[in-house]
């Protein structure tokens, strides 16, 4: 299937990665709802980390994410063949805009963990032919398409360690780069929803309108109150009732304006969030982030089934399907139950590892017509 019918058009069409860890040549075609699965060691975590990296670059022009991985040298594919440039390439296609960046090893200098940007290209359409280019950076020289259709060198010169997106933030100078960056600001990733006894989600939170659940779930009480009062309250109660028959959830605001989650199970008193099981808490957080009154344009859930009992997976799948009607959703999962529940209404991507690199089952990494890399410098 190509995706879930809904009110939101697919925003991200393709993601492409070369020489990032096990991702020697990987191109992903995304739908409104996409599920990525595969056995342990197949490359799911690397796909997720590569998506985070390209998002950080597009959203903030930041390459510092690689420093936390030990720099480009540690993040490169471990078996780059002789004659192939020692470089990493990352690309994303958003509607009619396509963006690609090529990173090389740093030369001598003070910032040896920062990669050097060799080439950056923004173009429209499917092929980066000269007439389609909107912005291109080779080393430190940047060329831009102007409002007359001309393509000339810009006075801006980014540092070798930074993306041109970090420098060209003026919507009047480069409106397409600005538009791409603004789109990426609404992409959300969730992989660190803590449910341990010290989880931020187990704490109360000031009762304010909160459209987005924090990456660690720390504003759960406020985000839940927002869903109940300004979002999909009926869908939330239905999901909780299906997953936990006889249970319900609410938010109590104390006299200081602080919100507290309350969980009702038929006992004489409601349970505080600190008393909820890990699986119950995670399910509630997944429900809240999927039923936000102001959904993001792209939502990534990395192994949302963690700590959740298999009996809750069908209700979680229904939540994901509902959420995908309002926003583009990508799920990375190794739960066969969740994958099977979403399969008929999702773009399904299965990963495998051939002992050398990650492969997409049934896909020729060098023969895709859905993504074309710009020419190297």
Average pLDDT estimate for 327-350 = 96
pLDDT at 19 over 90: yes
What element of type H or E holds 279? helix 278-290
Smallest Cα–Cα separation from 220: which of 126, 322, 292? 292
Under a CB-based contact definition with an 8 Å cutoff, are residues 60 and 168 in contact? no
Q: Which residue has the tokens 């139950």?
A: 337
pLDDT, position 63: 78
Smallest Cα–Cα separation from 288: which of 219, 342, 345? 219
Question: Using 50, 70 and 90 to split pLDDT, how confident is the model at 215?
Answer: very high
pLDDT, position 259: 97
pLDDT in tens, 273-304: 999 999 999 999 999 999 999 999 999 999 99
What's the token pair of residue 216? 């660690």
pLDDT at 136 over 90: yes
Under a CB-based contact definition with an 8 Å cutoff, are residues 207 and 223 in contact? no
Smallest Cα–Cα separation from 213: which of 194, 237, 196, 239? 194
pLDDT, position 7: 44
What element of type H or E holds 55? helix 44-60
Tally of helices (H runs) and strands (E runs) in the chain? 9, 18
pLDDT at 33 over 50: yes
The helix/strand/coil state of 228 is helix
pLDDT in tens, 78-116: 777 666 678 999 999 999 999 999 998 877 665 656 788
pLDDT, position 72: 84
According to the per-residue pLDDT averaged within each range, which of 6-20, 34-48, 362-376 is highest?
A: 34-48
What is the domain partition of the chain in residue ranges?
Answer: 12-31+43-186+350-360, 195-288
pTM of the model: 0.92
- Residues 6 or more apart whose CB falls under 8 angstroms from that of 91 comprise 14, 15, 16, 17, 54, 98, 99, 100, 101, 371, 373
Average pLDDT estimate for 247-267 = 95
C-alpha dist (Å) from residue 158 to 163, 280, 375: 7, 48, 20
- For 217, left (φ over 0), alpha (ψ -120 to 50), or beta? left
């Amino acid at each position: 299937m190509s995706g879930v019918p809904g009110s939101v058009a697919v925003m991200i069409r393709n993601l492409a990665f070369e020489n990032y860890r096990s991702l020697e040549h990987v191109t992903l075609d995304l739908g409104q709802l996409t599920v990525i699965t595969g056995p342990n060691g197949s490359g799911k975590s690397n796909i997720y980390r590569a998506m985070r990296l390209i998002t950080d670059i597009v959203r903030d022009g930041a390459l510092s994410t690689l420093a936390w991985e030990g720099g480009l040298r540690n993040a490169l594919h471990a078996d780059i063949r002789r004659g192939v440039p020692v470089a990493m390439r990352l690309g994303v296609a958003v509607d009619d805009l396509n963006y690609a960046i090529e990173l090389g090893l740093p030369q001598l200098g003070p910032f040896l963990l920062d990669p050097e940007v060799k080439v950056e290209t923004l173009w429209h359409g499917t092929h980066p032919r000269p007439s389609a280019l909107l912005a291109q950076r080779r080393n430190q020289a940047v060329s831009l398409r102007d409002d007359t259709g001309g393509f000339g060198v810009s006075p801006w010169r980014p540092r070798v360690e930074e993306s041109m997106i970090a420098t060209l933030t003026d919507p009047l100078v480069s409106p397409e780069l600005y538009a791409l960056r603004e789109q990426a600001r609404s992409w959300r990733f969730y992989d660190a929803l803590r449910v341990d006894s010290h989880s931020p989600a187990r704490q109360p939170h000031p009762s304010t309108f909160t459209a987005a659940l924090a990456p660690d779930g720390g504003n759960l009480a406020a985000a839940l109150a927002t869903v109940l009062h300004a979002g999909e309250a009926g869908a939330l109660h239905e999901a909780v009732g299906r997953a936990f028959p006889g249970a319900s959830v609410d938010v109590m605001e104390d006299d200081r304006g602080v919100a507290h989650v309350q969980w009702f199970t038929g006992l004489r008193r409601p349970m505080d969030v600190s008393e909820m099981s890990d699986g119950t808490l995670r399910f509630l957080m997944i429900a809240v982030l999927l039923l936000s009154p102001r959904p993001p344009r792209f939502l990534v859930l990395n192994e949302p089934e963690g700590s959740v009992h298999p009996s809750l997976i069908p209700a979680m799948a229904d939540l994901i399907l509902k959420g995908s009607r309002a926003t583009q959703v990508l799920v990375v999962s190794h739960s066969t139950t969740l994958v099977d529940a979403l399969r008929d209404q999702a773009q399904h991507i299965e990963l495998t590892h051939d002992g050398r690199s990650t492969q997409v089952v049934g896909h020729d990494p060098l023969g895709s017509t859905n993504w074309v890399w710009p020419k190297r410098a």
